[in-house]
Chains A and B, each alone.
Chain A
Amino acid sequence: MQRFLFPRWVNPLIALLGIAAVPGAIFAAAMGGLITDPQTLNVGYMPEQPVPFSHAIHAGQLRMDCRYCHNTVYEAAHAAIPPTATCINCHSPANDQDQSALAAVHSKSDKLDPIHESWETGESVAWKRIHNLPEYVYFNHSAHVNAGVSCKTCHGRIDQMEVVYQHEQLSMAWCIDCHRNYEEHLRPRDKVTKLDWDFESPEKQAEFAADWIEKENIHPKVHCAVCHR
């Protein structure tokens, strides 16, 4: 039993401990809470990509549809990062004679070097993943876009982003919030990728949503097995 007794001189320290405990707890809670909050951790995450691809130019100014590159979004879980070949459709590299096989927008550009290198060597371009969910979450793009949830609901106005960053928390609470209040996020299926389009008024949206939910049997669930398997 002896070894469990502290020596007597420890006693004053207990008071000290008590004094330190209160601010300590506040500090820990604040720091812990703030640091681990998805708002702090995830929103605004903007890694540097191997190619400074601008969605603002391509999707915004040039008004290319999202699906020109992310063409599997209506059929698959992943919206598929495009293969190098998609880039090459327009940015075909120039050869020694300054001629290119296909359309040649910026056929010689330092910024496009990684693309051209990939095309020539057959090695993939290593894009950095921005919207990253834990491995035990099974998100499916096709389920959402086919239900009429716009890209911008989760990704923000990508068509205005020079460099893409994470716009929303993508946390479980955030997902569930939308699964509970889904009506306001619905739009016609063919307007899903039209990021600059919106209903004339919230009333019109509500009217549409009511019909659409009835027709397409949209009843998102919030139980575990929806996303976790």
Chain B
Amino acid sequence: MSHQSRSLPILGQASPAPANRSSSQRSLPQAGGCCSHGGSSCGCGSSCGCGPSSGASIGGAANPDGYWRSLSELRGEASFEEQFLHREFPVAASEYPEGVSRRRWMELMGASMALVGAAAGCRYPEEKILPFVIRPEGRIPGERYLRASNFELAGRVYNLLVSCVDGRPIKIEANPEHPGETGTDAYAQASILTLYDPDRARSEDDRVILRKGDGKVRQKADWSQFLDTSRILVNSAAEKNGGGGVAVLMGPTSSPTQVRMLGELRKKLPKATFAKHDSVSGDALVKATSAVFGAPARQVLCLDEADIVLTLQADVLGNDPGTVQSSSTFAKRRDPINGTMNRLYVVEGGYTGTGASADARLALQPSQIPGFLTSLKQRVEEISGGKDEYTATGEVPYDQLGAPERLERFLDQVARDIAEAGERAVVIVGDAAGADAIQAGIAMNAQLGSLGKAQKFLPRVDTKLGDVVDLKTLAQQATDGKFEALIILDGNPAFSSPADVNVAAMIAACEQSIYLGEYDDETSVLCDWSAPVAHPLESWGDCISDSGHYGVCQPHILPLLGGRSVPEILAGFLGMMDGDGEVLGGQELVRRTAAEVAGSMDRGAWRKLLHDGFLADVRTSFLAVPEAIDFPDLNPALQAVTEVDKDQLEILFVASDGLYDGRFANNGWLQELPQTLTAMSWDNAAIMSPATAKAIGIKHGQKVALGVGDARIEMPVYEIPGCAPGVVTLPIGYGRTRAGRVGGFLDFDIDVVGFDVRPIRFSENSLHVAGVKGRPRYDEYEISTTQNHWAIDELGRKETAKRSFSLVREGTTALLEKIPQFAESKGPHVPTVGPDGVGSLWEEPIDVIEKTEDKVPQWGMTVDLTKCTGCNACVVACQSENNVPIVGREQVMKSREMHWLRMDRYFQGNEENADVVMQPVSCMHCETAPCEQVCPVAATVHTDEGLNAMAYNRCIGTRYCANNCPYKVRRFNYFNYNEEVGVGYGWNAFPSNIESADRRLESLSLNPEVTVRGRGVMEKCTYCVQRIEAAKITARRETQGIVPDGAIQTACQAACPAKAMEFGNLKDPESAVSKKRKDVRSYGLLAQLNLKPRTEYLARVRNTPYSLMTAKQIEDLETLKAPHHHGGDHGHGDHGHDGHGHGDHGHDDHGHGDHSHDDHGHDDHGHGDHGHGEAKHDGEKAVDTANH
């Protein structure tokens, strides 16, 4: 306490329990939310700058010490406690789903019983084995094999290995041999499910649809008919006027083959109009890069090259293209102990995943970004020029400043850091800020010297096509009657276009319209012809990856639903024939492009290219840095906005985390994926801060009307802290009316999912619109979100509240220097029941095993919260690997989502300003697992290798284990969620089920190595036991049964672009996971319960400069003490020892942490060295044990 130089509020230290607790016990979450809202926000949200006292009054009762999962928890609303904390499942979670009446249910049950009676003989049903007639060379039936592939989804290029079994792709992995940054994300992982989506089919037998006449009546058609018609169309147009009456609309592409084929089409139709439409980003980056480089370019970020990263309305670690590249390089510099830390400054209007990863964040209206940039440039120049008016100090912590002071301090600190870092600083401006701001960012990087290092630009592949117009121009020309024929290459413009472009009128104005699309969607229904495009996993293609390498996409299965790739269809249009008079196939088309790229492509080279997936020696080079880049005049000047004007709101449109622009709407994994900050699943909403909502006069869960001019939409409000005042974030892509049976299809009475925000989205800036009017609509709407689900109960630990930062532990680099063991200090005391049985009355079985069976590996995992960006790739990867079912919106609202791995989000701060920590949580495989002790049938038991195994077949569904799990990671199958996929379970496991299933194609996505669970069974993370066993069997064959370190990668670990997870043998002190666990930051979740979790977390470290630290961070820095150790305690001794060693190390390596040194050096604090001395002094005993 001696360091405490000023009194700081400890949030909610003495705040009483909310008064309304008993009165609204049974209310719905949102209803409850409304009741207590008024009381808690006290009229002085800290945005008005009323200083330290504001925090204390807002604290709330639920978690007085600062971390909360949602505003309702922060406010201590009865709904949260009643619904989610005290009960395992929300009220009424044990009821039947709506939609199936009790009577219908009985019928279903009766039918199932009858089936059993008929089919159950004395033995299991006879099975047939159908071997190949000629087995393909190298194919081993039933074994996984990996094939390289590269493809582009939603503007992101992936370098992948596709894992297949018996000829069907079942899992996506990153290609570790690719020279670029590799990793996956949720879209890539979920592409497996889209491949097996039966709704991609146009119809049962005729895959091409022809719609004729006024009513667009469906006609039978086939591929040859379609291609013949199209060929005649192209030929006659070419003869008539060089194709003047033909228009082609496409999305952005990185595929050289597709561009080459479009080039061929252009050669044939030189007067045709080509248009490009980027449904999400618009054309700001295109304009900016055209101005700078003379041609549109693609941004590639190498964040490991930068010490200081400033993003302005750019979601580089979240939804921007190139997120895998950015996350991967960013995480390389997030190692505070053995490596170095960069510093991420984020300025944004809404709250994004990038903002959650920030070291310091400023909520700023997007309209202020240009002004911010101008001011920043001016200051950086001033500071570099020696003019130093130091202002970034002050008594009040950063999070308690008023908006103007906060802006000033942030700007000052950023400018200072950037000026100091010089070419090691990079400024990244997002598309929403507009072309000029992006250009200004590039100009600034050029001036700093980081352009071409941390921020690089690759030439866009599709610029080779020549002049293209935008969608708006095309629509205008079409309605003017310029075109006779319109060819649309995927992208569903009828849904993804902005409101001021009437795509329906555009299509109607053309005599003939052809749509090539994956689905029979909103655009397809407007066009004459609709031809299915094959999925990337079933077609030939290519792309240029972020590293500039040429990569090939090869099919892993023949087109399941009769689709063809776009280049193949274009070859058909052009009548490109091979020697045998057949239309050129995809392979030949791609091979010709590859030959063009590589210079030549003989058979050997082609085989090698297919094997590797990329050409190692041919590489598109990054664009050279131009000599001079203009810094455009940016308006308006920067000013801090504090008041929310409900007639001048700003809207930010963002690609939604799962659906992108709506193209993944029919993918159940992505629909159900809880979104990064809101955890909304199967829903979107108007996301805003409580202050904005208050200004409009609305509350969480009620509907708001947002209007621009005459256009207006209504959607529910979702309040989260940290959004700039007056800024509303709208995720696009929801409200599809013809997505499919998952994402909504009105013609089949399938409900639309979410709300369409298109009516107020305009092509001028498709990501940002200002001057929006917001009006309350008092309809209630229950948003489907998992944010409050599976809350880990710590209410019973209120007595340790002051130090109960135990679930997520975070600190700053300064704190790490001062107290390396801060993660341990922040947690409660962990009992010393060591592996030798010290302190325990008996030896635990696992201890005996560890002692006696020295060759049995002991599996464990670590998750580095400093690297994790919360991108959700692991969640979908787990779902894909482990056959985790999709449950649907209604079930999600009952807290029945089945994700084995969930992403917990904890906010810290107050209602208006909060930091976020993401934490992936799955089964911890506790050595003394509480679930095992309560299972009446021993269905969950421990293995010799330390896994907490589930024997599904034994499980009788008592759910005691889930009740007794302190981490809430167990999931119960309330229904046969796989029924419509065609997989039964237990007594209902008949191969014939598949014949009658609705979505039987989807059953091909199931991993054959994992049991498909059925109704009444508990399930949870298995540490991917199938991968462990596979590695052990390989080891039996190759390495005398010893599994080498790194041979096992769990699905989540392999998917992670940031490489935040490690998995391996804890018994081997040299294994990566053992080393990570020895990291001083490593802590076990709820380890104080003597559960001995096998998964440990490495505490989050933020590289926050002193001037931008929050009150809590400063308090930690000043008052936290090194952990107090008892003598002779081995378990702890280990920790202390490592802490000490690493601490020294960290100190040496902290070249980049210099700023933070200086900053707190200026203040009342000791320098790093001193900090160390003090740590030693304070924690004398820790050092003692460390010297053991």
B-binding residues in A (CB < 8 A): 35, 41-42, 45, 47, 72, 74-78, 80-85, 118-119, 122-129, 132, 134-136, 138, 140, 142-143, 146-147, 215-219, 221, 223-226, 228-229
Contact = CB atoms under 8 A, between A and B. Distances in A.
Contacts of A224: 941, 943, 949-951
14 contacts: A41-B123, A75-B1037, A78-B143, A80-B140, A80-B142, A127-B129, A134-B124, A136-B1011, A142-B1036, A219-B855, A221-B856, A221-B943, A224-B943, A226-B943
Nearest to B1022: A229
B942 interface: yes
What are the 4 tightest A-B residue pairs by CB atom distance, in nearest-first order?
A217-B1041, A223-B943, A124-B130, A225-B949
Contacts of A226: 943, 1029
Given A47-B126, A82-B131, 13 more contacts: A75-B1037, A85-B132, A129-B128, A138-B1029, A142-B1036, A216-B1040, A219-B855, A224-B951, A225-B945, A225-B1029, A228-B951, A229-B1025, A229-B1029
Interface centre among A82, A118, A136, A147 (most CB of B within 10 A): A136
Contacts of B943: 221, 223-226
Contacts of B941: 223-224
Interface in B848-868: 853, 855-856
B176 to A, nearest CB: 22
A75 B1022 contact: no
Contacts of A218: 1041
Interface string B893-921: 00000000000000000000000000000
B140 A76 contact: yes
Interface in B1155-1175: none
A127 B269 CA distance: 57
Interface string B129-144: 1111111000011110
Contacts of B1010: 229
Contacts, number: 141
A92 B945 CA distance: 51
A90 B124 CA distance: 35
A80 B1022 contact: no
B942 A84 contact: no
Contact of B131 (A81, A128, A143, A219): A81
Interface in B87-122: 122
Main secondary structure on chain A at its contact with chain B? loop
Contacts of B1022: 225, 229
Contacts of B122: 35, 41
B1037 A146 contact: yes
B924 interface: no
Interface centre among B123, B127, B131 (most CB of A within 10 A): B131
Contacts of A146: 1036-1037
A31 to B, nearest CB: 12
Interface string B972-1002: 0000000000000000010000000000000
A225 B947 CA distance: 8
B141 to A, nearest CB: 5
B965 interface: no
Contacts of B1011: 135-136, 228-229
B15 interface: no
Nearest to A223: B943
B143 A76 contact: yes
B952 interface: yes
A129 B1029 contact: no
B1026 interface: yes
Given A85-B134, A219-B856, A229-B1029, A136 B953 contact: yes
A136 B952 contact: yes
B610 interface: no
B952 A127 contact: no
Contact of A132 (B124, B143, B1036): B124
B133 A129 contact: no
A76 B856 CA distance: 23
A159 B873 CA distance: 51
Nearest to B1038: A146
Interface of B: 122-124, 126-135, 140-143, 853, 855-856, 941-945, 947, 949-953, 989, 1009-1011, 1022, 1025-1026, 1028-1029, 1032-1033, 1036-1037, 1040-1042
A85 B949 contact: no
Nearest to B1037: A146
A218 B130 CA distance: 34
B896 to A, nearest CB: 23
B535 to A, nearest CB: 27
A215 B1009 CA distance: 29
Contact of B126 (A128, A143, A223): A128
A129 to B, nearest CB: 4
Nearest to B1042: A217
B1039 to A, nearest CB: 9
A85 B1009 CA distance: 28
Contacts of A72: 140-141, 143
A215 B129 contact: no
B133 A143 contact: no
A147 B1038 CA distance: 11
Contacts of B1009: 138, 229
Contact of B142 (A47, A77, A125, A225): A77
Nearest to B856: A219
Contacts of A136: 952-953, 1011
A118 B1041 CA distance: 41
B565 to A, nearest CB: 27
Given A129-B127, A146-B1036, A85 B135 contact: yes
B570 to A, nearest CB: 33
Contacts of A217: 855, 1040-1042
Contacts of B143: 72, 75-78
A45 B121 CA distance: 14
A216 B1042 CA distance: 9
Contacts of A127: 128-131
Nearest to B1034: A142
B944 A142 contact: no
Given A74-B1037, A127-B128, A221 B944 contact: yes
A83 B128 contact: no
Contacts of A42: 123
Contacts of A41: 122-123
A137 B616 CA distance: 43
A2 B1026 CA distance: 58
Contacts of B1036: 142-143, 146-147, 216
Contacts of B951: 224, 228
B1110 to A, nearest CB: 44
Contact of A84 (B126, B134, B952): B134
Contacts of A47: 126
A35 B1010 CA distance: 30
A2 B1108 CA distance: 78
B989 A129 contact: no
Contact of A128 (B129, B855, B953, B1040): B129
A160 to B, nearest CB: 22
Nearest to A133: B124
A229 B949 CA distance: 8
Nearest to A78: B142
B942 A228 contact: no
A60 to B, nearest CB: 22
A49 to B, nearest CB: 10
Contacts of A216: 1036, 1040-1041
Given A45-B123, A129-B127, A138-B1026, A83 B944 contact: no
B1033 A140 contact: yes
Contacts of A129: 126-129
A84 B128 contact: no
A147 B140 CA distance: 20
B128 A75 contact: no
B927 to A, nearest CB: 14
A9 to B, nearest CB: 34
B1040 A124 contact: no
A4 to B, nearest CB: 24
